Amino acid sequence: MTSRDRVITALNHKQPDKVPAAFECVESVYKKLMKHNDFSDSEQLYNKFGIDIRYIAPKYIGPELKSYKDKNGNLVEQSFWGYESTYHWTGKEFNSIISYYPLAEIESIEDVENYNWPSAQWFDYESIKQQCEKYKDKAIVIGHEGPFQIAAFIRPMEDLLYDMAAQPEIAKRIYDRMVEFELEYYERIFEVADGNIAILRPHDDYGTQISLLFSKDMWCDFFKDNTKKLVDLTHKYKAFYMQHSCGAVRNIIPELIKCGVDVLEPLQKVAGLEPENLKRDFGTDISFHGGIDTQGVLPHGTPEQVIAETRHYIDVLNKNGGYILMASQAFEGDVPIENIEAMYSVR
């Protein structure tokens, strides 16, 4: 099987020749792995671990984005959504925090409408053709942060949650306005890719480590219709829709299935997302991606413990397909190289 065939087979709930695998890490881990293996090209690293998935995006060609150093010498970068991120060194890697929220002061729907929302015209979609050709035998994934995640970057989270409870028309218009952009943006990628996109994956974090951030009813009220619009677009182009959400999101899995979501990731190790329960209760209706714990076994366990955990997830979730191997989040700087190698050795 090619990598593309392997992923598509698994997501169609059929048994692939081996479990498909994805790979994500922070920059410091990438540099460490490249140096450790004496690699000069990222494909060498992906091939070492047998990674089946590749991520692509169109080149940004819109208005110039700000990039500068703040008074403390920290790098500050502006997103095309208008928010700014400041990068701080943790001792192991650079982590970013949002330092400017462009919708922090809005008070009305009119303020939302008057914001300088990004345009789908700001991207070079022709670049997608070359990327698809480069990875034609791989399962190609597109997608960036989703409507809730980006909304929390352009408006402070506490204000956004207040909006959802006290002035829902403002929150709904923010989410709807973002999805209007994304529907056009993703459709233009799909059109240019000409059938080569396997998965659309928006990143939204609806959960904490103990519960949803809001009730299931609120999720349905604010996110269900827009999720269905994005799923329908994805299926129009014969691709799979993967919903990213960290946290304890079990309560909305039935709603995701009703929307037509094909895959849930990253399976953080929290109550309700135990692999046995997921496979038993939802395994014929949705596939899963991830789960190898980046808070426990990967940073603190032995390679033998990582291998045992990985085998368990594969044995349970890969039965009759329906699983893509990955960690529960991108590998952080506290994960030893030998544990990353141990995780992928199980395949």
Residue 224 lies in a domain: yes
- Beta partners for residue 95, in sequence order: 88
Q: pTM (2 decimals)?
A: 0.96
The predicted pLDDT at position 225 comes to 98
Determine the average pLDDT of the residues in 31-36.
97
Residue 265 lies in a domain: yes
The predicted pLDDT at position 93 comes to 76
CATH of the domain at 17: 3.20.20.210
The predicted pLDDT at position 201 comes to 98
The predicted pLDDT at position 82 comes to 97
280-290 burial, b at 16+ Cβ within 10 Å, e below that, comes to: eebbeebbbbb
The predicted pLDDT at position 108 comes to 96
Residue 320 lies in a domain: yes
CB 67 within 8 A of CB 119: no
Determine the average pLDDT of the residues in 206-220.
97
The predicted pLDDT at position 94 comes to 81
Residue 193 contacts by C-beta under 8 Å, 6 or more apart in sequence? 128, 129, 132, 140, 142, 237
Determine the average pLDDT of the residues in 139-162.
97
- Residue pLDDT, tens place only, 168-193: 999 999 999 999 999 999 999 999 99
The predicted pLDDT at position 6 comes to 98
pLDDT band at 1 (very low <50, low <70, confident <90, very high): very high
Q: What mean pLDDT is reported for the chain? A: 97
In the predicted structure, residue 313 carries a pLDDT above the cut 90 = yes
Q: What letter would DSSP give residue 66?
A: P
- Residue pLDDT, tens place only, 49-99: 999 999 999 999 999 999 999 999 999 999 999 999 999 988 877 889 999
Residue 79 lies in a domain: no
Determine the average pLDDT of the residues in 154-174.
97
DSSP per residue, 260-328: T--EEE---SSTT--HHHHHHHHTTT-EEE--B-TTTHHHHS-HHHHHHHHHHHHHHHTTTS-EEB-BS
pLDDT band at 129 (very low <50, low <70, confident <90, very high): very high
- Residue pLDDT, tens place only, 321-344: 999 999 999 999 999 999 999 999
- Residue pLDDT, tens place only, 90-125: 887 788 999 999 999 999 999 999 999 999 999 999
The percentage of the chain sitting over the pLDDT mark of 90, rounded to a whole number, equals 97
Determine the average pLDDT of the residues in 219-243.
98
Residue 303 lies in a domain: yes
Please choose, from the candidates 343, 252, 250, 338, the residue with its C-alpha nearest in 3D space to the C-alpha of residue 293. 343
The predicted pLDDT at position 91 comes to 80
In which domain, by residue range, is 303 found?
A: 3-65+104-345
Residue 73 lies in a domain: no
Residue 184 lies in a domain: yes
Domain count, the chain: 1
Residue 133 lies in a domain: yes
pLDDT band at 20 (very low <50, low <70, confident <90, very high): very high
Q: How many CB atoms lie within 10 A of CB 234?
A: 26
Q: What letter would DSSP give residue 201?
A: -
